Amino acid sequence: MSLGGSAHATGPAVHPAAPTPYGTPHTTGKLPLAGRVIVIDPGHNPGNSHHTAQIARLVDVGNGRKECDTTGTATNAGYPEASYTLDVSRRVRAILQARGATVKLTQDGNLPYGPCVDERARIGNAAHADAALSIHADGGPASGRGFHVIAPKSLRAGIADTRAIAAPSLRLATTLRAHFAAATKEPFATYLAGGKGLTVRDDLGGLNLSKVPKVFIECGNMRNSVDARALTDAAWRQHAAQGIADGLTAFLEGKR
């Protein structure tokens, strides 16, 4: 992820809980996520690199002004974060739709760039989403590997007010963390947050401006050779999608 601000913030020491396993979707009766609305936000956009002036403009995120968007990171071999996030988001959508959810993507490869981080938040708000998730992969130090989840800090500043969503977002973060780890066997990031796999931040517009429970997931470190092999493997990306979908499902069902 490259959304401005340091990725090396620290969060509370929250201990992971054992996830509830999910199998195939129900084949009879009401689907588990029927009536639920989930917004999936594929981080960045493959076209951002061709629209640098547009994504460089500053937008209001409540406690400051940030770039509309960035190009994101890439593996050393050149696999873009934006390609990863879009692929996994589509896989997550398919799983959640099979469970009965209405799933909206903030972009589906159909936009020349962006959308800007404030608009990404507004899409979730306008959908009255039961949960929203921004999918990313990090560009951390090459020596570090692993994933982490980012939850919004409780704040009121300008147009940002996350006080109502901070607590449910933190529960979403910890639930998602457990299920993603179980599905992928990916460790918690070794290079930030004391190895807890969770940070709480107030510098990300997509979280600051959300009115619905929302978190970010950095699925791995694209600059680490071990993580890069996983992130570029289609089978592993399906495991990642499964873990994300299971985490969202558990959160919406009130489970861990």
CATH number of residue 109's parent domain: 3.40.630.40
Show the domain range for 129: 37-252
- Its sign, for the CA torsion 172, 249, 229, 105, is negative
Residue 29 belongs to a domain = no
Look at the block and give the residue holding tokens 């589509």: 90
Residue 24 belongs to a domain = no
Q: For the chain, how many structural domains are there in total? A: 1
171-227 pLDDT, tens per residue?
999 999 999 999 999 999 999 999 999 999 999 999 999 999 999 999 999 999 999
- Sorted by sequence, the CB contacts under 8 Å of residue 15 that are 6+ apart come out as none
Residue 153 belongs to a domain = yes
Residue 116 belongs to a domain = yes
Percentage, residues of the chain above pLDDT 70: 89
Residue 168 belongs to a domain = yes
Residue 1 belongs to a domain = no
Q: Which residues are catalytic?
A: 218
Residue 5 belongs to a domain = no
